Amino acid sequence: MSQIPFTDIVANLPASVPFVGPEQIERERGFTFRAKLGANESPFGPSPKARDAIQTAIEDSWEYPDATSVTLRQAIARHWDINTDNVLVGAGIDELLGNVVRMTVPPGGAVVTSNGAYPTFNYHVHGFGGTLHLVDYRDDHEDLDALAAKAQAVDARLVYLSNPDNPMGTRHTADAVADFRRRLPTDTLLVLDEAYSEFAPEGTNPPVDPSDTNLIRLRTFSKIYGLAALRVGYAIAHADAVTGLNKIRNHFGVNRVAQHAARAALEDQAYIDALKNEIERGKRAYAEIARRHGFTALPSFTNFVTIEVGGVARGDRLLKALQDRRVFIRKPGVPPLDRCIRVTVGPEDQRTIFEQAFAEAVQEVG
Amino acid sequence: MSQIPFTDIVANLPASVPFVGPEQIERERGFTFRAKLGANESPFGPSPKARDAIQTAIEDSWEYPDATSVTLRQAIARHWDINTDNVLVGAGIDELLGNVVRMTVPPGGAVVTSNGAYPTFNYHVHGFGGTLHLVDYRDDHEDLDALAAKAQAVDARLVYLSNPDNPMGTRHTADAVADFRRRLPTDTLLVLDEAYSEFAPEGTNPPVDPSDTNLIRLRTFSKIYGLAALRVGYAIAHADAVTGLNKIRNHFGVNRVAQHAARAALEDQAYIDALKNEIERGKRAYAEIARRHGFTALPSFTNFVTIEVGGVARGDRLLKALQDRRVFIRKPGVPPLDRCIRVTVGPEDQRTIFEQAFAEAVQEVG
């Protein structure tokens, strides 16, 4: 009998997926969610200028995108006052992570990350046959000391850190991150996922310095910029790292609509500034809701609030009770983080839906 | 000094890219093309229903796409009367090719393709460290006998065949392809790229039979469906192959706009049927233009016409002379195919631009 000639790596991979999306839950349960507050998108939507850019791009829908995303890369370079050569655009941080892993991790290569951090990063490491070394969170923060020590101990090719952190919403200061970078082995590449950085205060993100060969910073248009549907993110990195990624990436992978919309969104910083205030208001509202029910909201440096609900079983039941009320949220997957639930900040009408459903859920779960 | 920890494969790859896009030529030359007839998109654009779908999708631009593209996959499954489990959607055929190579080709693994066929396939094979074995075209067709013999000789993991063929526009019959499939080694996977299949007559595409474990058929919305900007294509394959690809693909890689627009485009077959007639007209017009200048157009089973212009030097000069007149076309890259130029069928106004520029170019080149 004939067989598909899988590589050993693929033959040995489990058939798991990083995330089950809300559409799948909707199909299984036969309803549509009233509020989707589980994936930390921006339910506020993108800048009107980005919407206009999508509208305009309809005319060119027959035409392949620019494989080098030059116009968008130039806008990003201007935004950060760096060279275009230090910017690589990808189909979201997920695609960039996959290519960074592929570029640096041979089968068996050592990779260090936090236990409970981004599942899609782990998925890619497994997918390329790398060996994951997990370090526990400490006090709901990624543990920089332990991460650096582990990277030294296993001579890691790659270390993944998200700052601010997902799923806990905590952060380290820019100084702490810069110090952490210096404590890694000489040839270790630090992947700094800054998907939530726009929500964090000054002093969270180290200065942008693309002369560092061993630091790749990842940014996205899926969070504050409100364009998760279109799949676009970018890396800021040393030109040699960009060259390396250009050797392997899918060159026509970033669609044309995304390139135009992302540029328009980036160039409307007034919209982003206004949004930040609204999100701060939303975070305070969620903290107040938590308090009212006797729970504690962790201080958040992101667009979501992580709420301690007093144990994994109660958290799971609350998630389920919220789902029964057609409210979609998520919760961390590993102990001790899984004693919490995680709720995205949406506009006021969505927060109200959450508030009411949560009150009922708490009542039901006890 | 610190160094980026490239894998050996990436360290040894050249910094080449599969294609230079028209935008890059425009930037270098400081003009915009009057007619882009080089990438075999559909300058006719997509169905009005697909345009409407893009318009509608603006509202949801904040929301992640369905990672499983279920609605689109169901529409594709209905179209072919197969199971949804036999359909995998990707960000264009390019992404699917990369994942098929990754799934099956270990470093050094043997891969067979035609010398002068799709550069992006070769790019992915190199990118995963595979060993390419090239077989010459015969009489401007991919040489099925030689491909099968080579696959046997090197015990290929993967064989790539495009039918109809790009860049020559020729085809093999469905019977010849089915016979070719049977002559491959038992465990060889045949990648059948059918990007141009909608332009070909009955009897070109073998019946769809997803029970064949060792055949993956690739289709795209970038050609006749006019949605190259959005990046969406699909594979029809045995469910085990789909499961394998699901273990490694970028799960949120197909954007939401693309999923909606592709479904709308697929469901408007009346638009596609009308387009086919218009494209046949355009191909006859190009053949007549070629004849008028003493050249020969190859019979085309695609949406482009490949024209023999009597030698590689003249072809290169004609390409350049057309570019000087702001008309973008391409030509095959390897002998003996490179004695030809290749022109995409566009609407009548674009064909007229080509006709006039080509007359001047022939005059200039001699």
For chain B, give every domain's residue range.
8-45+270-365, 48-268
**Could you give phi then psi for residue B224, rounded to 5 degrees?**
-60, -30
Question: Does B32 contact chain A (CB < 8 Å)?
Answer: no
Supply A186's token pair: 């000489």
Between CA A70 and CA A64 the distance in angstroms is 14
Supply A268's token pair: 């409307």
Q: How far is CA A248 from CA A104, B102, B126, B157, in A?
A: 11, 12, 9, 20
Chain B residues touching A254 at Cβ < 8 A: 231
What's the CATH number for B48-268?
3.40.640.10
What rounded mean pLDDT belongs to chain B? 97
Across the interface, which of B92, B95, B186 has its CB nearest the CB of A2?
B186
- Under 8 Å between Cβ of A32 and A326: yes
Per DSSP, what are the bridge partners of residue B141? B138
Contact at CB, B68 and A252, closer than 8 angstroms: no
The DSSP H or E segment spanning B226 is none
Q: Which residue of B has its CA nearest to A231?
A: B255
Contact at CB, A44 and B62, closer than 8 angstroms: yes
* Whether pLDDT at B1 is above 80: no
Contact at CB, B24 and A248, closer than 8 angstroms: no
Strands (E), chain B: 35-36, 87-90, 110-114, 131-135, 158-162, 189-193, 215-220, 233-236, 296-297, 304-308, 327-328, 340-344
Q: Give the pLDDT score at A45.
A: 98
The DSSP H or E segment spanning A214 is none
Establish whether this prediction's ipTM goes over 0.95: yes
CATH topology of domain B8-45+270-365: Aspartate Aminotransferase, domain 1 (3.90.1150)
Burial class (CB in 10 A: 0-12, 13-18, 19+), A224: buried
Prior bond of B14 cis (ω within 30°): no
Q: Which of A174-183, A211-220, B17-26, B58-67 has the lowest mean pLDDT?
A: B17-26
Between CA A122 and CA A101 the distance in angstroms is 10
State the greatest distance between any 2 C-alpha atoms of chain B, in Å, as a whole number.
Answer: 64
What's the CATH number for A48-267?
3.40.640.10
- Classify A19-45+270-365 by CATH class: alpha beta
For the residues B198-214, what does the mean pLDDT come to?
94
Q: Which residue of B has its CA nearest to A246?
A: B15
Supply A96's token pair: 């960039």
**Could you give phi then psi for residue B300, rounded to 5 degrees?**
-110, 130
Between CA A249 and CA B102 the distance in angstroms is 13
Q: Which residue of B has its CA nearest to A42?
A: B62
Contact at CB, B213 and A4, closer than 8 angstroms: yes
Tens digit of pLDDT for each residue in A2-46?
A: 789 999 999 999 987 778 899 999 999 999 999 999 999 999 999
Estimate to the nearest angstrom the gap between the alpha carbon of B281 and the chain centroid: 22
Across the interface, which of B3, B102, B255 has its CB nearest the CB of A230?
B255
Query: Using H for helix, E for strand and C for coil, what is the string for A24-50?
Result: HHHHHHCCCCCEECCCCCCCCCCCHHH
Estimate to the nearest angstrom the gap between the alpha carbon of B3 and the chain centroid: 37
Q: Give the pLDDT score at A1.
A: 55
* Whether pLDDT at A334 is above 80: yes
State the pLDDT confidence band at B18, using cuts at 50, 70 and 90: confident
The more confident residue out of A77 and B18 is A77
> Who contacts B11 (Cβ-Cβ below 8 Å, separation ≥6)?
none
Supply B66's token pair: 């369905």
Question: Does B66 contact chain A (CB < 8 Å)?
Answer: yes
Supply A2's token pair: 């004939």
Q: Which residue of A has its CA nearest to B231?
A: A255
Tens digit of pLDDT for each residue in B243-302?
A: 999 999 999 999 999 999 999 999 999 999 999 999 999 999 999 999 999 999 999 999
Tens digit of pLDDT for each residue in B19-41?
A: 889 999 999 999 999 999 999 99
Contact at CB, B247 and A10, closer than 8 angstroms: yes
Per the listing, tokens 């540029």 go with A263
For testing the chain A interface, which of B12, B62, B344 should be mutated: the one with the most A CBs within 10 Å? Answer: B62
Neighbours of B55 (CB within 10 A): 15
Tens digit of pLDDT for each residue in B334-357?
A: 999 999 999 999 999 999 999 999
Between CA B135 and CA B116 the distance in angstroms is 9
**Could you give phi then psi for residue A37, rounded to 5 degrees?**
-125, 40
What rounded mean pLDDT belongs to chain A? 97
